[in-house]
Amino acid sequence: MLNKQLNKSLRSLFALLVLVMGLGFATTTLAADEQSSKQQAGKENPAELWRAVKAGDSGFTTAQGIEPGVLINVAGNQGRIIRDDYITPGVALALVGVFAAFLLFYFVNGPAKLAKGYSGKMVERWSKADIWLHWIMAVACLTLMLTGLVIILGKIAIQPYVSAGIWAGVIGFSKLVHDWTGPVFIVSWLLCIVKWMPLQTFKMYDLKWFLVVGGYINFGPFKGKHPDSGFANAGEKMWFWTLVFFGLFISVSGIMLVLPGLDLPREASMAALLIHGISAAILIAFTIVHIWMATALSEGGMESMVSGYCDENWAVQHHNVWFDEIKANGSIKYQK
């Protein structure tokens, strides 16, 4: 009895197995047939094949990997068009447009002078570690910007005017320097973010700073205004948080692009390329403004990132809340 039942069960199991295998074989054969008929159709009608390739259709190949049968990835091609039509001109505009706008503003407005001149008394503002950190990050960032600009704009601004050999050298060198400077920027950026974040939280008085454009305008109703400001003013805080977010986007997308071993789908690589380009355009625009403000616009501003000390009158005019605070709590340190 038991034997009979076992026999029956084994027979049903075998039948099921044959059915499943048969179904599997049929679908594989159908798919292979479909592909081979597509390829056959392609051989007979190349235009049809090219249409299928451009539409991202997968063909038959023994190669291994992600989408090995796809010759043209549709998202990748769309991304290339977005980069060429929008991101490349955007980066050029961020560079030339922001520089020109600030130059014009500087000629019309002039620098933000110290209302009471220099006092000669120097107050400690940044530690030696802060200064090192700032300049390592700044040099890395400027190197990335310069080499990145060659990579994205070089084909328009350099390649047509030099020999193929020179262009190969320039683009190869830029790519090499760009790839190896990335980690220096990421580490210094991370340290800066962690170390300086407590100084960069927004306060209510920052709103007023924006309303009077920080007191940097030398004409009209804004003239002579010195809005309240803590250790960092509202403009510096905006720069800092832009650097936090777009520094993160540019770093993560950069890692995705520089490590082919990650074997990402082509959609992810293209998304990383676009995010990298957009973040670069935004950071370039902000960096140009930052350098203009530090070097030309704010009289006495550069000194603090060179020696670590700022003039007392500069501290009172530009960072009064911070100055009052360190004076009141006794942590103020003068240069001896």
User: What whole-number distance in Å separates Cα of residue 19 and Cα of residue 30?
Assistant: 16
From the CB of 304, what's the least distance to ligand HEM, in Å?
Answer: 4
Give bridge partners of residue 310 from the DSSP assignment. Answer: 123
Which one, of 309, 326, 331, 323, lies nearest residue 122 by Cα? 309
- Tokens describing residue 186: 């990421």
CB 321 within 8 A of CB 228: yes
Q: How far is the CB of 232 from ligand HEM (least distance, A)?
A: 5
Min. distance of Cβ 58 from ligand HEM in angstroms?
43
Q: Closest distance between ligand HEM and the C-beta of residue 183, in Å?
A: 15
Residue 334: how many other CB atoms lie within 10 Å? 10
Coil, strand or helix: which one is 265? coil
- Closer Cβ to ligand HEM, 73 or 233, answer by number: 233
**Strand pairing partners for 311?**
122
Report how far residue 181's alpha carbon sits from residue 193's, in angstroms, rounded to the nearest whole number: 18
Residues in region 195-214 near ligand HEM by CB under 6 A:
196
**Under rule CB under 6 A, which residues in 223-242 are in contact with ligand HEM?**
232, 236, 239-240
* 275 sits in which H/E element: helix 266-292
CA distances from 333 to 80, 84, 124, 198 (A): 55, 53, 5, 20
Looking at residue 58, what DSSP letter applies? B
| Minimum distance of ligand HEM from residue 100's CB (angstroms) | 18
Q: Is 304 in the site for ligand HEM (CB under 6 A)?
A: yes
Q: According to CB under 6 A, which one of 181, 256, 301, 313 is a site residue for ligand HEM? A: 301
- Interface with ligand HEM (CB under 6 A), residue from 9, 36, 201, 295: 295
**Count of residues of this chain found to bind ligand HEM when the rule CB under 6 A is applied:** 22
- Contacts of residue 44, defined as CB under 8 A and 6 or more positions apart, other chains included, come to none
Residue 302 sits in the site that holds ligand HEM (CB under 6 A): yes
Pick 126 or 266: Cβ nearer ligand HEM: 126
Binding range to ligand HEM, per CB under 6 A, among 82-90, 253-261, 262-270, 299-307: 299-307
Interaction between residue 141 and ligand HEM (CB under 6 A): yes
Token duo for residue 247:
């520094």
The distance of closest approach from Cβ of residue 282 to ligand HEM in the complex, given in angstroms and rounded to an integer, is 12
Residues lying near ligand HEM in the complex (CB under 6 A) are found at: 125, 134, 137-138, 141-142, 192, 196, 232, 236, 239-240, 243, 287, 290-291, 294-295, 301-302, 304-305
